[in-house]
Amino acid sequence: MSTIIEKAKEIVAVNGMSDKITLLQGKMEEVELPFPKVDIIISEWMGYFLLYESMLDTVLWARDKYLVKDGLIFPDKATIFMAGIEDGEYKDEKIGFWDNVWGFDYTPLKRSALTEPLVDTVEMKAVVTDPTPILTLDLYKVQPADLAFSLRFTLDVRRTDYVHALIAWFDIDFTACHKPIRFSTGPHAKYTHWKQTVFYLQDVLTVEQGEQITGVLTNKPNEKNKRDLDIKIEYRLETEDMGRQMEGVCEYKMC
């Protein structure tokens, strides 16, 4: 849809490829392709938290309408991961700020701030739990209805610390390449503009090595705007010390 296509046309021309490359501007669902079927679909459709403002619906539409049998999709696999992090200093800066704003009580905004996931870079040293895969999408098989889901997760605590937030990121695979290629948007990988998505918890969890945080992650497109997301995280700290048993439910809106 972008006007950058005009520069793309110039680049194609100066490289002598105008007889091989055709550029079309418009929405995938509205343009008319010069061929009834295609052999390959290439798309960078991923958004924050993989699915926020993503164009995956459009890719699936193109797959079902245009891709030949045994055609290829690049990338063709995406996996969402989660982990728990210690982030007390930044949480106090972002969330606790509203407790006292120049002497005024702004706690109504504090509740709103907790419902907005933060997209930011998390340092690996802040990660308290082992990562766990939540969802894997196979682009050859996934359907639009699969993008609304409710899935259980278990996070194994790797060191005694605090957990202030859960983070999510995704890995992308190109399995049809001669040599399979993967890149990650996690805290262990090189920086990408997707960064990581941080979900601050209402509670601070005191965790010890060997314990587990279990829960359910629920995601669905927003009813008013399907590119926005409504996310709910139910969590429970599994511990032998019943005095520290904690559980909670947090709801978030990515919009």
From the list 32, 44, 123, 223, the catalytic residue is 44
CA-to-CA distance for 47 and 170, rounded, in angstroms? Answer: 10
Within its chain, how far is the Cα of 30 from the centroid? 27
From the list 10, 30, 32, 53, the catalytic residue is 53
CA-to-CA distance for 13 and 2, rounded, in angstroms? Answer: 19
Residue 118: φ, ψ to 5°: -100, 130
Nearest alpha-carbon partner for 202 in 93, 128, 114, 121: 114
**Are 72 and 198 within 8 A, CB to CB?**
no
CA-to-CA distance for 31 and 45, rounded, in angstroms? Answer: 18
Any catalytic annotation for residue 223?
no
Any catalytic annotation for residue 53?
yes
Active-site residue set: 44, 53
